Structure 1
Amino acid sequence: MILGKIVTVKVDRKLGSHHPEYPNIFYPINYGYIENVIAADGEEQDAYIMGVNEAVDTFTGKVIAIIHRKNDIETKWVVVPKNLNFTREEIILAINFQEQYFEIEIEI
């Protein structure tokens, strides 16, 4: 079970940065991956970090949601500080900068 699991995210796109291939995509939250957890796309598992309002290199928190892309093989995890939770609506608002290009389903 992934939901509720404590993971460490290595941040490669810090809050305030732009996507390396699509410069029009601005990251209003930290985004990275969980080392040694291989996702369906063959790459390390991607994760959005919510509840942290400064750029960080790494972050350890709990997984509160899984973003399933219906029109893509990738899934994204939403990781937050251990004492926080967010609603589905809050998650959608936070990740829309990138997920607006996909048809998604959120598992909470």
Structure 2
Amino acid sequence: MKELENNAFFWQKLDTLMFSSDCTIDRPKGSTHFKYSNLVYPVDYGFLSDTTAGSDQDPIDLFKGSIPTHTVDAIAVSADILKKDCEVKLLVGCTEEEILDILRFLNQTEFQKAILIRRGDETPIWSTND
């Protein structure tokens, strides 16, 4: 059922979260991870301060690239066996090179792996409007 996998209404909701939330960058491009000094952030990294990402009540994480926009380009979904969790991170204003750098960053350890879901613009056949 392709129309459930990547549709315009989902991305519209993510854009609304971006426009209606405060973005806080707490790890600028080039800074190192607070626990692992060998992990260097390829773009600005932060969160939407008045949101929650799930049951842990932490805010939604995001990578902010060099393109000045508030539109979500993609999401990265990561699985971490050390933390025993999965997380979704928004990619906003990222060039193709920045997206690849983010994927390398998220996949560089043996304990965490991530996939990328790019923005789609299909309208599901089951919908008439949203």
TM over 0.5: yes
The answer for unaligned runs of 5 or more in structure 1 is 53-58
Please give the residue correspondences for 1:49-68 in structure 2 after superposition, counting only pairs within 5 Å: 49-51=64-66, 61-68=70-77
Matched positions, count? 96
Distance 2:27 2:51 in 1: 18
**Alignment partner of 1:46 is 2:61:** yes
In proportion to residue count, which structure has more helix?
2
1:78 corresponds to which residue? 91
Residues 1:43 and 1:60: Cα distance change in structure 2 (over 3 Å)? farther
Distance 1:60 1:34 in 2: 15
2:33 corresponds to which residue? 19
Structure 1 stretches of at least 4 aligned residues deviating more than 3 Å after TM superposition: none
What is the DSSP-based 3-state SS (H/G/I as helix, E as strand, rest coil) of the residue aligned with 1:96? helix
In proportion to residue count, which structure has more strand?
1
Whether the 8 Å contact between 1:27 and 1:97 is mirrored in structure 2 is no
Range with greater deviation from structure 2 (20-29 or 2-11): 2-11
Shift of 1:45: 0.4
Identity of aligned residues (%): 30
Compute the RMSD of aligned alpha carbons.
Answer: 2.6
Q: TM-score, normalised by structure 1?
A: 0.71
**Alignment partner of 1:98 is 2:113:** no
The one-character-per-residue Cα deviations of 1:12-53 (angstroms, maximum 9, x if unpaired) are 00011101111110112100000111002420000001125x
Distance 2:11 2:86 in 1: 19
